[in-house]
Structure 1
């Protein structure tokens, strides 16, 4: 029944995201009640509390929404064009490749512009995806083989990240940011850099919803409908890599949001991409914001990076998907 009312689901997700954001903003050394937060949105409330909210807490909330949405949309695109339920920025090595090249640029020139770091992340993510696909392709890209190769490339990139951090003599906080993904200490600077890239890429991808629906039916069907399949796939993969690169450049490596969100969203609104893409963006934003809320509140004053929380939630689900795909493969052979 829910799949018949996707607009209602979109509205519900937006409301859930809003109230979760209000709750998250209130968490900290100084707790601010949700009603006070809502009053601040109308220009009222304590001046000191407003300063704390709008200068320190609001940026990380908005960044969580942006990054969660970007990774979820990137996951939808990758799963559709590869016809692979295990495809995602982290399982294809895109996140790892983006992180290692971004840090390499920073280590070479600490004064590099934010645009240079983001561009390097995009190039690294694209190269990682290319190598994963080449190494995994054998009479087609088998889902399990693609996932296993992606994990291997991600591990290799993770080692590269650690080497880059050692070269930079980075402190523990910086290392934690890039290795586990953290929203701690994020400011409006990251918002200004990530916002135009992420929003722009998502808006462009929304223009391809019918094309994505055609690709979901198979390459031959899409070609019969007039789609230039290979060119479109490369373009779509480029935009999904751009989303991933912008996300990694802003907060480091966030695992499993891009893998889980598309599966949850399909259960809610179905597989039509005109609903799937915006709903996935909202689901991804909710997941990352929820992970950040849990990380900030469970062991106060200690803060658990959001990437660690998403990994704890996502790893069991990934193993389940891996088992399911392997089982389906054995059944098709028999």
Structure 2
């Protein structure tokens, strides 16, 4: 019944995201109650708490919402334009390519700016996507073959990331945070770089809702409806790669979030992109914030990177999807 009321779903998810944000922002060596947080948000409350919340904890909350939403939207776009339920930033090698390019650039130029890292991450992600699609394309891009090639290229990029980290003057903990994706230690600097890119790209993507709905029906139907199919696919893939590159540059590699968020969202609101895109952004933001909350509380005082939590949640689902695609392929062949 709720699927018939996507606006209600959106409101419920927004409320759940706000609740999760308040819970997350109170977690730490000094616990801050939800009531105290609400007082701080309206300009009241303890000055020391205000410093802790707005200078240290708020940036990671805002960044989780931005990055989670960006990866989810990128996953929706990739799955739509490729007509592939296994397509996602990590399964297409975009995340791996972006991370490898960003880390190699940092190892070669230690003083490089965050903005430059984001641009280089975009180039690396685009190159990895091109390689995956070229290797997987054979009389069409078979979903299973595309996913397997994407995982292989991601593994190769992961080796590049590890090599770059070995050459960097960095600790093992910092290396772990980059390899697995973490919101730990992130500040407003990362927010101010990621926010303009992610918000602008998502707003631009909202302009192509009709084109996305047409592409979902197939290339021939979309062309009949006046869509320049190949040009539109390249443009949309480029925008989703830009979202992924900005995300990787800000927090490292967050695995499987761009894969599972679109599937959850379609079950909630269906496949019309005017509902799918904004709702997916909320779902992705909630999942990353939830993963960060779990990582910060399950074995306190140690902190598990959010990317590890999303991997634990997403890897089994990816194997299930891979099995389903393989089974569907066998049925089609018979």
Task: Name 1:182's counterpart in structure 2.
Answer: 182
Q: For the residues of structure 2 that align with 1:188 and 1:299, how far apart are their CA atoms?
A: 27
- 1:173 Cα deviation after fit: 2.5
- 1:169 Cα deviation after fit: 3.0
Q: For the residues of structure 1 that align with 2:96 and 2:174, how far apart are their CA atoms?
A: 16
CA root-mean-square deviation: 0.6
Task: Name 1:161's counterpart in structure 2.
Answer: 161
Q: For the residues of structure 1 that align with 2:62 and 2:115, how far apart are their CA atoms?
A: 20
Q: For the residues of structure 2 that align with 1:115 and 1:181, how far apart are their CA atoms?
A: 18
- 1:45 Cα deviation after fit: 1.1
Q: For the residues of structure 1 that align with 2:132 and 2:164, how far apart are their CA atoms?
A: 22
User: Deviations along 1:176-230, whole A, 9 cap, x unmatched?
Assistant: 1210000000000000000000000000000001100000000000000000000
- 1:322 Cα deviation after fit: 0.4
Q: For the residues of structure 1 that align with 2:172 and 2:69, how far apart are their CA atoms?
A: 28
Matching of residue 249 in structure 1 with residue 249 in structure 2: yes
Task: Name 2:281's counterpart in structure 1.
Answer: 281
Q: Secondary structure at the match of 1:153?
A: helix
Q: Aligned runs of 1:94-105 on 2, under 5 Å?
A: 94-105=94-105
- Give the TM-score, by structure 2 length: 0.99
Matching of residue 19 in structure 1 with residue 19 in structure 2: yes
Runs of 4 or more off by more than 3 Å in structure 1? none
Task: Name 1:330's counterpart in structure 2.
Answer: 330
Task: Name 2:67's counterpart in structure 1.
Answer: 67
- 1:112 Cα deviation after fit: 1.0
Task: Name 2:305's counterpart in structure 1.
Answer: 305
Residue segments in structure 1 that go unaligned for 5+ positions in a row: none
Q: For the residues of structure 1 that align with 2:317 and 2:85, how far apart are their CA atoms?
A: 12
Residue segments in structure 2 that go unaligned for 5+ positions in a row: none
Task: Name 1:229's counterpart in structure 2.
Answer: 229
Count matched residues. 334
- 1:104 Cα deviation after fit: 1.1
- 1:305 Cα deviation after fit: 0.2
Bigger drift between 163-172 and 139-148 goes to 163-172
Task: Name 1:139's counterpart in structure 2.
Answer: 139
Q: Secondary structure at the match of 1:189?
A: helix
Q: For the residues of structure 2 that align with 1:97 and 1:175, how far apart are their CA atoms?
A: 17
Q: For the residues of structure 1 that align with 2:150 and 2:249, how far apart are their CA atoms?
A: 20
Q: For the residues of structure 2 that align with 1:115 and 1:53, how far apart are their CA atoms?
A: 26
Task: Name 2:116's counterpart in structure 1.
Answer: 116
Task: Name 2:238's counterpart in structure 1.
Answer: 238
Task: Name 2:152's counterpart in structure 1.
Answer: 152
Task: Name 1:266's counterpart in structure 2.
Answer: 266
Task: Name 1:90's counterpart in structure 2.
Answer: 90
Q: For the residues of structure 2 that align with 1:50 and 1:123, how far apart are their CA atoms?
A: 39
Q: Secondary structure at the match of 1:88?
A: coil
Q: For the residues of structure 2 that align with 1:168 and 1:107, how far apart are their CA atoms?
A: 5
Task: Name 1:195's counterpart in structure 2.
Answer: 195
Matching of residue 41 in structure 1 with residue 41 in structure 2: yes
Q: For the residues of structure 2 that align with 1:131 and 1:174, how far apart are their CA atoms?
A: 29
- 1:107 Cα deviation after fit: 1.0
User: Deviations along 1:235-261, whole A, 9 cap, x unmatched?
Assistant: 000000000000000000000100000
Q: For the residues of structure 1 that align with 2:268 and 2:125, how far apart are their CA atoms?
A: 30
Q: Secondary structure at the match of 1:29?
A: coil
User: Deviations along 1:27-46, whole A, 9 cap, x unmatched?
Assistant: 00011111111111101111
